[in-house]
Structure 1
């Protein structure tokens, strides 16, 4: 199985520039072109949040239109810049809604089950897994007992040394999340965004893959007293290969600009 992971596009319409200098609209178009030109077509695209910058219907409608043209299934979860209601309106084929209104999903159409977790606290930069989301996950993992699964979410459950970003990471529900993963025993990987860098770690003995942004990155500054800084490092995404024998193998791929 081949999975393309895209994240943190922060798409803006009408040629607006993020922070006055990052053309996220053009970056998104280059991303779509790169995905369309892959020599091996992914079975699935996972979008790990911060699809749009302002969370408008217009942003999500454009994103949805471009992704549908690839003719590849897409599953998406929100990031801290996203809002649930317009995502539901414009991306109904890419998101699922729990009875409590969270955008969590489960896809069992592949040999590897795909679980999407909504970690956002709308209006706040940090993430959380509240009691309702944890209850949903517990039931989902119970239903998938003995089946290999992959989890994708926006906020990573690990600390990274990027102090300013760790301070707005997953701040609630981590201990319960860890216990559930350990109990299930067949989680193959956890895919995340939010950090705008390629970062690898482990959580509950499971590989964590943090994808860089498909637009712009955050500077790798490990000093404890520094705010995060957006930098114009190359746009990237990830390709993950999964098979039962070897688990998940991950590649970080640059977004190629047209010549």
Structure 2
């Protein structure tokens, strides 16, 4: 199974520029071209949050138009720059929704269960997995007992060393998540975004892959007290190859153009 993971597009309707500098709509169009021209077509696209910058319906409508042209199944979860209601109104076919209104998604069309977690705290940059979302996840993993599973979410459930970003990381739920992963025994990987860098770690013995941004990156700087800064590294996405018995092999791919 081949999975394209895209993250952190921060789409702004033209002529908007992020930080007065990044033309994120143009970057998104280049991304769509790169995905359309891949030599091997992915079986699934996962969007791990921060789709829009201002979270307007116009942003999500444009994103949906681009993604649907690819004619590849897409699953998405919100990031801290997203809002649930406009995202649901324009991208509902790519999302799931719990009884409590969280945009968590579970899909059983593939050789492994694909489960997306909504870590959004609306109005705040940090993320959390509250009791309701954790209960939903526990139920989905129980349904997937005995089969491989893949989790994806926006905020990584680990500390990366990028202090300014870690302060707005996942503030609650990581310990429970690790416990559920160990109990299930078949989780293959956790795919995340938020950090605007390619980062690898692990939780409960399971690989954590953090995707870079498809628009703009954050500089590598693990000194104490340093604020985050944008870097001039190119837009990138990830391609994950999963094979039964072999696990995940992950590649970082630059956006062409």
Measure how far apart 1:232 and its partner are: 2.3
Higher deviation after alignment, 222-231 or 77-86: 222-231
* Corresponding position: 1:5 with 2:11: no
Q: Distance in 1 between matches of 2:107 and 2:232?
A: 35
Which structure 1 segments of 5+ residues have no match? none
Query: TM-score scaled to structure 1, two decimals?
Result: 0.98
Q: Distance in 2 between matches of 1:96 and 1:253?
A: 28
Q: Distance in 2 between matches of 1:201 and 1:15?
A: 37
> 1:151 aligns to what?
151
What's the CA shift string for 1:195-232, capped at 9, x where partnerless? 00000001110000000000000010110111111222
The number of residues matched between the two structures is 257
Q: Distance in 1 between matches of 2:25 and 2:52?
A: 10
* Corresponding position: 1:92 with 2:92: yes
Q: Distance in 2 between matches of 1:180 and 1:96?
A: 20
> 1:241 aligns to what?
241
Query: TM-score scaled to structure 2, two decimals?
Result: 0.99
> 1:254 aligns to what?
254
Measure how far apart 1:14 and its partner are: 1.8
Q: Name the SS for the 1:209 alignment partner.
A: strand
Q: Name the SS for the 1:127 alignment partner.
A: coil
Q: Distance in 1 between matches of 2:172 and 2:104?
A: 16
Q: Distance in 1 between matches of 2:233 and 2:40?
A: 26
Q: Distance in 2 between matches of 1:170 and 1:13?
A: 28
What's the CA shift string for 1:113-160, capped at 9, x where partnerless? 100000010010001000000000011111111110000000000111
Q: Which aligned runs of 4 or more in structure 1 are off by greater than 3 angstroms?
A: none
